[in-house]
Structure 1
């Protein structure tokens, strides 16, 4: 049994390193469908279930301190690629489609929560809000919301399972939708002129070196400390807007500012942010216990309801706004899937429009945390 905080963090880092090595260096088909974050969650939760991590103040304080310290710089670094100047160039119709997609997902969570509230855990709204952050942004937004609202680790495990299972099915559906896009566009009487000239060239990056790594780590951690101090002196508003919320809001805005400067093109920002994300997820997972997984199917049902509402709203919107299937599918994938999957779906329609998928996903990465927190507030009021 491990009761020392340093040993505890060492085990989580070793587990993370092993999972990343296997998933990146071994060509097993299962790794195409099961993200490394999910494997890490199950691995850390399994260690806790069998009693590897003891119940000690050293472990609790180490995990809490590291998680709180890494959340703001992780969000900050992930936004380095989110250049608002490029996003604005998408045009009003594409941006409207993206925002309607995000709103339909939030509406889906409200409907699912109202329908299943009596059977869910009293704090299920916090976990569903974290899932809403993931389905409008990404995994980093999910753990950010979990850290702010303190959703119970076991319930967070349920929504992580829902995220993985339904995301995989939804990605297959969106990828396959390219085959009947022409018939769908004829039905909606869509115009595609707003898609012209949307392709943008990727900016070149210098290779990752010691200077870029030290600059990114030093700058992001220093900024995180400053944002944490600022958040501690700003007023708390309700249960959601607390010191952590203020810190993440500050670094999110600064991340957008830096993205439009030469510093935003520094190589290695996404890699370092991903390392931080693995550590944070490992810490959260280490507080989970598999003995209560029997409730997971109920949360899976909630996820299905969310996607059904989302699908209905998007079809109605497409008919009313004469939207083409490309923007619907890519906006939906950018929300539910993120930056790794949106370009793949975009390429199924037209390779020249892959940057649209990237920009959609980056916009979601900025919005996801705040959409998730708004969802928590909505569900808590029901």
Structure 2
């Protein structure tokens, strides 16, 4: 096979055999679907599935059709992409997460967030125990990656999948549950907004008083080429540094090389949030672009045949949400939390930055910064929480770490 050409004819299947063609096609696929999702939101397909899920499914279809060759060069490129770009993505997301600003949310909102997170963690454990006989030995990885997403975001999901070496096909299950069950949950929380007064009377909630603001100077502004290159270089350098720390400190048991790598880059991102790098616009945009590329890359190594258990996982996702809702109701009664606090804490975990501000705006536009800050808190705890869930599920399932 000659690698001088990206595309060769092998019988009836055109295969992209070179690393350059492999990377170029993945970037083009992800970029096209991002563009379509932003410029054609009225299309019916985007009403049911977000672009990131369509990216995963499209890459699986192309892989199943034989677009990419499965050779050593592409496999090595795939491994290097995951090793460097996942930590870089996490670092870039955390550049906007200053712990001091997050603490301004106050004890009630922080307590609600922690209760919401605990409900998701316990829900994952319950769902695993209920459905593992139907889902097989690999179910722990799906629930671990889903926990990473529902405690933080899709970037945390990919980070957990990379750190725990969860099979690529299992990420497809987690993405489907994250998309479909989350959409139902968001609709329910929005539908409950008119019932806030009745809920608050039941929970004996005290009126919420907040003075939370966001420094838009950090996150806004015009994107410029030098700062994008600087941010990308920072992400890659941070990923290399975290990889070296993983090699130094990683070992057997919980703190493997991949786990230490992700934890190290998380700590580095939180430190760099207090440097002038945090004032550069574009870090979240660049991180999201890397996220789409990572999802397309992972999907290029899977197939639809690996998603036969999707309906069962969707039911398991409902169980997780029911357990989570039970935790929130108990907390609302005991801590006298209002419906806004419960809803925004829940969605800051399950929905993230994309949807928590939407729910906050449904109550009052003045509360949007609260939704943003709580969702950013999810970025901080999502990866560690997903890793914890994964390790506990491995122990429950008798899986060797």
TM-score (norm. length: structure 1): 0.96
Q: Which residue of 2 aligns with 1:307?
A: 321
Say if 2:23 is the partner of 1:17: no
Q: Which residue of 2 aligns with 1:125?
A: 140
| In structure 1, distance between residues paired with 2:279 and 2:147 | 29
1:275 to 289, 301, 322: 289
Using the TM superposition, give the Cα deviation of residue 22 of structure 1 relative to its aligned residue in structure 2, in angstroms. Answer: 1.1
CA contact (8 A) 2:156 2:379 kept: yes
CA contact (8 A) 1:9 1:63 kept: no
Q: Which residue of 1 aligns with 2:248?
A: 233
Using the TM superposition, give the Cα deviation of residue 33 of structure 1 relative to its aligned residue in structure 2, in angstroms. Answer: 4.4
Using the TM superposition, give the Cα deviation of residue 256 of structure 1 relative to its aligned residue in structure 2, in angstroms. Answer: 1.4
Equivalences for 1:314-333 in 2 at 5 Å? 314-333=328-347
Equivalences for 1:14-93 in 2 at 5 Å? 14-30=28-44, 31-93=46-108
| In structure 2, distance between residues paired with 1:351 and 1:234 | 46
Using the TM superposition, give the Cα deviation of residue 303 of structure 1 relative to its aligned residue in structure 2, in angstroms. Answer: 0.5
Using the TM superposition, give the Cα deviation of residue 294 of structure 1 relative to its aligned residue in structure 2, in angstroms. Answer: 2.3
Q: Would the alpha carbon gap of residues 27 and 163 (structure 1) be closer, same or farther in structure 2, given more than 3 Å must change?
A: closer
Q: Which residue of 2 aligns with 1:112?
A: 127
Q: Would the alpha carbon gap of residues 78 and 121 (structure 1) be closer, same or farther in structure 2, given more than 3 Å must change?
A: same
| In structure 1, distance between residues paired with 2:378 and 2:113 | 9
Equivalent position SS for 2:266: helix
Q: Would the alpha carbon gap of residues 27 and 111 (structure 1) be closer, same or farther in structure 2, given more than 3 Å must change?
A: closer
Q: Residue deviations 1:301-328, cap 9 Å, x none? A: 1111100111111111111111111111
Q: Which residue of 2 aligns with 1:296?
A: 310
CA contact (8 A) 1:190 1:323 kept: yes
1:103 to 118, 125, 130: 118
CA contact (8 A) 1:90 1:356 kept: yes
CA contact (8 A) 2:149 2:155 kept: yes
Using the TM superposition, give the Cα deviation of residue 235 of structure 1 relative to its aligned residue in structure 2, in angstroms. Answer: 3.2
Using the TM superposition, give the Cα deviation of residue 274 of structure 1 relative to its aligned residue in structure 2, in angstroms. Answer: 1.2
Q: Residue deviations 1:262-320, cap 9 Å, x none? A: 32010110111111111111111111111233211111111111001111111111111
Q: Residue deviations 1:74-106, cap 9 Å, x none? A: 000001111211111111111010001001100
Q: Residue deviations 1:205-228, cap 9 Å, x none? A: 442112211211112211211221
Using the TM superposition, give the Cα deviation of residue 242 of structure 1 relative to its aligned residue in structure 2, in angstroms. Answer: 1.8
| In structure 2, distance between residues paired with 1:200 and 1:268 | 16
| In structure 1, distance between residues paired with 2:275 and 2:237 | 18
Using the TM superposition, give the Cα deviation of residue 200 of structure 1 relative to its aligned residue in structure 2, in angstroms. Answer: 4.6
2:367 to 329, 353, 374: 353
CA contact (8 A) 2:60 2:301 kept: yes
Say if 2:206 is the partner of 1:182: no
| In structure 1, distance between residues paired with 2:306 and 2:103 | 45
List gaps (5 residues or longer) in structure 1.
Answer: none
Equivalent position SS for 1:197: coil
Equivalent position SS for 1:203: helix
CA contact (8 A) 1:177 1:329 kept: no
Using the TM superposition, give the Cα deviation of residue 358 of structure 1 relative to its aligned residue in structure 2, in angstroms. Answer: 0.4
CA contact (8 A) 1:199 1:353 kept: no
| In structure 2, distance between residues paired with 1:269 and 1:202 | 13
List gaps (5 residues or longer) in structure 2.
Answer: 1-14, 397-401
Q: Relative to structure 2, which stretch is displaced further, 286-295 or 332-341?
A: 286-295
Q: Would the alpha carbon gap of residues 201 and 7 (structure 1) be closer, same or farther in structure 2, given more than 3 Å must change?
A: closer
Using the TM superposition, give the Cα deviation of residue 29 of structure 1 relative to its aligned residue in structure 2, in angstroms. Answer: 4.4
2:389 to 353, 358, 375: 375
